[in-house]
Structure 1
């Protein structure tokens, strides 16, 4: 444990993910397993450098030389406007910051534009096409690439992808049209108690905290490429009526158990009005009574009983009212609890 905590900075992220995975699997990390994990990380990094192209490098190669700007000169054929040209206005170039979102992994030549890759270096989730969004909130955010250059994200929103078992919902996905492939932060799975298991040389699966498989994928040149169905099937956010009826007939189970009851059905995330109503609770009482500053500002009431044996008058309940400021008290003896409303009316 001491060796993992004191790893060099370049292995900090790998060490944290390794500790998290051991905690999920309920085992103590041994020195041998830790060394193997670091060796595997170094091997993946070397494969990525050898078989991949950095995002910024690919973007640069896609810009024809006759469309590039030079220092203090804006090329009229460039895609950006003269007003936004960094060569003319260097002050507009985004500055590198510790808070800048990072996309560490280089893009593998075998991955296409629609691939989704689990990236251990990405700090957030990123896609390159609007087709993955049901709707989008437009905002600008700076993304730092592996070579230190930056690009801009144009929006953020929730997307849904269908795996062979369930529908995956990801929040706060960034829309980056210039991204060469789609990236999913591996830490997003690890931090939510998911674990990644390798099945064989070329395949892996992601398990939830119940050890249920939620998505699988292939290992290609050191990259974890997810298997999923095209998201166009989820352009509509409505839930089929037969799913709602089935949920009601099953006794309103939670989404988790509902999917286990019917594993062959694709059950999306939906809200049940009856379930939401039944889960509502009253606000709790304050931890202490407020302090009164004048008479009759607060009244403390207490109804006790039934008393056994009853009083000589036959009263079986005691109703006490105390003023929160003067502590003056009224005590009433009642035959039945139903007499309480009449007492309140007469004393008011």
Structure 2
């Protein structure tokens, strides 16, 4: 293999390079700009090309000397061979800073240090890359959100990662950090340094339930109330705000239609346990799930007994503030006596659990009350009200369900009641209203008298209040 390498050596090129002394190369290094990732991208091709052209790329392996002993080649070929090695050494030295050059200046045996020298070069550029990324991270944290600065920073950020991704050869990349490592460092840095700022600014402009929110002592201009009425700026307005909110919710409850779901005391669990050590939330009744997937899962309890979960899905419970809470992947377990809700996911979403005496309350990050319970034997027990569609009852009448929903189309009715066959229902009200939806003929008859009644072709009968 060594002899084949010498066949492809360009003797004239090697001799010209070999005539350059080490002192001349050191003079040239003084003109080399400080190493940056940009310099390396421009020079890496020429460095690796020089190795390839002279078939000396195996010098990147620290054990090359054991594979190609010096006495294995003829004397004339050996001279050309070692001149090429010296040229490669000079080429590498020209790309090092003065500190690293001095480490190899007084070495008598160049051949044993090429691999080490190459490693030092890769380490140097790896450190430079991390430093550049660190500078970019600092820029992101100090970034003002105007369009020009954002685009400039993102373009520079993109260039750094694209440049790092260009190192295709493992021998060329060496100790370069991977994209995954750099992104991981960025994520950790942003979590540590930017969490408070990001949280404060994003929550101040957060939109939930199609209503803008004020938060953290800041007034959101998107909020329907005036700045002078914002209790986040004026604490004396807080009581007025909550009284107004309570009154509005009472009015909404008094006029709330019962078409979509029935809420009754019979579907309230006697005790619901909030527990942080639970692996899953457990529901006894499958009626509370809006989506359900049948499966058999064996669960082991703390007393080493086992119970069977029959399904997994997405249930809905109502918070004490009246808005629905969608829980992720709870299990339906008919054999349990109390509903079990794991509240660790709530804490991960910046929710707050406050305890006063034997009362425990779980608040959202915008101070809305999720659960209000009591602490009994170090266990938080509460009551939750779940919306249960009438389709889940045993004696559900498809026609009654259809009319209770306000005579919707089959598509929407099936979406609300997936377990009941609502197709082909003969509803007299629907037939009367929808029979008027005939194709438009293009002209209307000329009328000589005023209308007494105007039919708006609503989907189902209504009873106006006035």
TM range (shorter): 0.3 to 0.5
Tell which has more relative contact order, 1 or 2 (C-alpha 8 A, sep 6+): 1
TM-score between both structures, scaled by the size of structure 2:
0.25
More strand per residue: 1
Point out the structure with max Rg over C-alpha.
2
